[in-house]
């Protein structure tokens, strides 16, 4: 994990996932590889290994900088703006 500080930690909110899968993929009837949770609003999107990359598209559309993995056994946060990976506190 990087030691470079993230400047967006103030945008983390106590969110709950909106869905049990990628919101857009569920609407489209499509599949995903891994899920990511937006820590600003609770949007659930698919990762960049998924063909639709909805978590990154959500960042570009909404400018919400922080996502957390929703995968079992993974415990990390990624900041799109600062390009830094962190462990949750």
- Give residue limits of the domains in the chain: 12-86
Work out the average pLDDT over 35-43: 98
Candidates 60, 77, 65, 58; CA nearest to 19 is 58
- Structure tokens of 28? 């489209």
| Residue-level pLDDT at 18 | 93
Query: For residue 21, is pLDDT > 50?
Result: yes
Query: For residue 2, is pLDDT > 90?
Result: no
- Structure tokens of 39? 């820590």
Provide the whole-model pTM: 0.92
Band (pLDDT 50/70/90 cuts) for residue 3 is low
Structural contact between residues 46 and 36, judged by C-beta atoms closer than 8 angstroms = yes
CATH architecture of 12-86: 2-Layer Sandwich (3.30)
- Structure tokens of 5? 């500080």
Band (pLDDT 50/70/90 cuts) for residue 88 is confident
């Amino acid at each position: 994990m990087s030691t470079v500080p993230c400047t967006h930690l103030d945008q983390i909110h106590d969110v709950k996932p909106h869905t049990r899968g990628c919101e857009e993929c569920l609407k489209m009837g499509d599949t995903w590889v891994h899920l990511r949770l937006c820590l600003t609003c609770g949007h659930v999107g698919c990762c960049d290994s998924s063909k639709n990359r909805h978590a990154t598209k959500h960042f570009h559309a909404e400018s919400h900088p922080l996502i957390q993995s929703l995968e079992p056994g993974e415990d990390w946060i990624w900041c799109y703006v600062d390009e830094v990976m962190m462990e949750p506190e």
